[in-house]
């Protein structure tokens, strides 16, 4: 009996050994471009079409551009921990020098030769914390990541439904609100979004067919999304008005809380608060870190794709935020969705349909990118006996964790059907920050402690 507390302590903090080389059961088929498209697609969507107008109107005004830069810097630091841009050397007893990178490279999931060869397989923050911190923290982070991706997928599906409904003159909302209302609550939506539920389940089936097939869709939608964003920036550049960055408070209608006008209408505090919301827009790049076992050359592809995707997304966010706030006063961007509204107000009503197409493409890639890591985290935990064993089963034909994919998809679909977007976003941000903190701690342990 005296040894029970000690046994529990040992069980909670035992760390996963780095295993000898074994064959992966997943299909290796992803290259650098596939991963970059996955990272960009996972990240670039909700921020451009939903968050920019909301943050500009409520918190930051024109300084939403600065908010995105602050959020980008924070995300890039987290990305450096994942990607491993910092190099250092490890010398074996035979004086064999192996230069390798941080987490995307340092912690292999499917194989590792201590000094001679580094194979790059990872399972995101889950496996990092398991190897560096211990089993209890790995269990917590694993569940945290599962909830993060499920909530993220649900929020994107809900946003997708809003944009598509806009194309149909709110026919979906009007029908469901009339016949399928829900009790009023701070947490639940006013009606069950059956379209969002169906969309998530259909994409779960697509993801079950194979990772290569899923990334093909992601690449197509990502290209369409970027073309629409480029269109918005170029066309919007002809309507820029610097006066919208230095609006006099007397010009703001009295019924609207527009702050003190100017570039920082709500002060620096508003800009920082806006950065906290904008940080949510960068969530998704860590999906790349979960693909290690399916990458052809992870040693090269993982770091390049993470940094490339973050760079592209940052440029896109800042460009659209600049154009949107200079085209139209920030205090009149409370309409949802705000970007098509701004283009309509400056005399480009035809741009609404084009932007909506880009929004649907961007949200499609965000949804696929958000759903992609979910079954892989579940598969990793089940493979380590921290979840039910049947969740680790791989389909012999498609080489994907079909059971984990469909179960995680069902959970995301249910949340998308019943929960409101704002509540989903708040729940997701907490989980993301915890995962990033654990990755940074694990980096320090790996660099300065022998495991």
The radius of gyration of the chain from alpha carbons, rounded to an integer in Å, stands at: 23
Task: Give the C-alpha separation, 218 to 220, whole Å.
Answer: 6
pLDDT of residue 292: 66
pLDDT of residue 413: 92
Q: What is the pLDDT of residues 279-314, one digit of tens each?
A: 878 877 777 766 766 777 777 777 788 888 888 999
How high does pLDDT run on average in the chain?
77
Q: Find the helix or strand (DSSP H, E) in which 199 lies.
A: helix 194-209
Domains of the chain: 28-448 (1.20.1740.10)
- The pTM of this model reads 0.76
Q: What is the pLDDT of residues 213-259, one digit of tens each?
A: 777 777 888 888 889 999 999 999 998 989 999 888 888 888 888 88
The answer on pLDDT for 67 being more than 90 is yes
pLDDT of residue 160: 85
Q: Provide mean pLDDT across the span 37-65.
A: 85
Q: What is the pLDDT of residues 170-205, one digit of tens each?
A: 788 888 887 777 777 766 777 888 889 999 999 898
Residue 117 has what DSSP assignment? B
Angle separating helix axes 351-371 and 373-383, nearest 10 degrees: 0
Q: Provide mean pLDDT across the span 36-62.
A: 84
Residues of 285-312 as b/e, b for ≥16 C-beta within 10 angstroms? bbbbbbbbbbbeebbebbbbbbbbbbeb
Query: Residue 56 is encoded by which pair of tokens?
Result: 């500009």
Task: Give the C-alpha separation, 215 to 331, whole Å.
Answer: 39
Q: What is the pLDDT of residues 135-155, one digit of tens each?
A: 888 888 888 888 878 887 888
Task: Give the C-alpha separation, 76 to 55, whole Å.
Answer: 21
The answer on pLDDT for 87 being more than 50 is no
Q: Find the helix or strand (DSSP H, E) in which 235 lies.
A: helix 211-236
String of DSSP letters for 352-400:
HHHHHHHHHHHHHHHHHHHHSHHHHHHHHHHHTTSS-GGGG---TTT-S
Query: Residue 366 is encoded by which pair of tokens?
Result: 């965000």
């Amino acid at each position: 009996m005296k040894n029970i507390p000690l046994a529990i302590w040992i069980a909670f903090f035992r760390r996963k050994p780095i295993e000898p080389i074994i064959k992966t059961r997943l299909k290796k088929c992803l290259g650098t471009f596939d991963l970059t498209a996955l990272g960009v697609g996972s990240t670039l969507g909700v921020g451009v079409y939903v968050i920019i107008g909301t943050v500009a109107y409520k918190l930051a005004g024109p300084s939403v551009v600065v908010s995105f830069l602050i959020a980008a810097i924070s995300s890039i630091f987290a990305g450096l921990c994942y990607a491993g841009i910092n190099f250092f050397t490890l010398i074996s007893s035979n004086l064999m020098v192996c230069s390798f990178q941080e987490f995307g490279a340092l912690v292999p999931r499917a194989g590792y030769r201590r000094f001679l060869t580094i194979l790059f397989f990872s399972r995101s923050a889950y496996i990092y914390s398991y190897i560096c911190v211990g089993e209890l923290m790995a269990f917590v982070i694993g569940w945290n990541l599962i909830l993060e991706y499920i909530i993220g997928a649900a929020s994107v599906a809900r946003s997708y439904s809003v944009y598509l409904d806009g194309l149909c003159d709110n026919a979906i909302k009007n029908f469901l609100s009339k016949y399928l209302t829900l009790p009023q609550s701070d947490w639940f939506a006013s009606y069950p979004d059956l379209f969002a539920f169906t969309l998530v389940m259909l994409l779960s089936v697509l993801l079950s067919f194979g990772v290569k097939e899923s990334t093909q869709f992601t690449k197509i939608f990502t290209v369409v999304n970027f073309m629409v964003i480029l269109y918005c920036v170029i066309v919007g550049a002809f309507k820029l008005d610097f006066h919208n960055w230095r609006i006099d408070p007397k010009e703001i209608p009295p019924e609207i809380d527009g702050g003190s006008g100017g570039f920082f209408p709500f002060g620096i505090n508003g800009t920082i608060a806006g950065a906290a919301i904008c940080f949510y827009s960068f969530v998704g790049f860590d999906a790349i870190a979960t693909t290690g076992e399916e990458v052809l050359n992870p040693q090269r592809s993982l770091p390049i794709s993470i940094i490339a995707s973050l760079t592209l997304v940052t440029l896109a966010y800042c460009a659209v935020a600049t154009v949107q706030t200079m085209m139209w006063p920030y205090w009149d961007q409370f309409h949802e969705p705000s970007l098509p509204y701004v283009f309509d107000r400056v005399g480009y009503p035809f741009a609404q349909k084009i932007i909506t197409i880009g929004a649907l493409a961007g949200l499609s890639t965000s949804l696929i990118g958000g759903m992609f890591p979910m079954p892989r985290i579940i598969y990793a935990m089940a493979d380590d006996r921290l979840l039910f064993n049947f969740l680790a089963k791989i389909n012999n034909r498609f080489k994907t964790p079909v059971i984990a994919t469909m179960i995680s998809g069902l959970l995301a679909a249910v949340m998308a059907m019943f929960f409101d977007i704002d509540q989903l976003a708040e729940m997701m941000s907490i989980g993301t920050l915890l995962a990033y903190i654990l990755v940074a701690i694990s980096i320090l342990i790996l660099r300065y402690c022998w495991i």
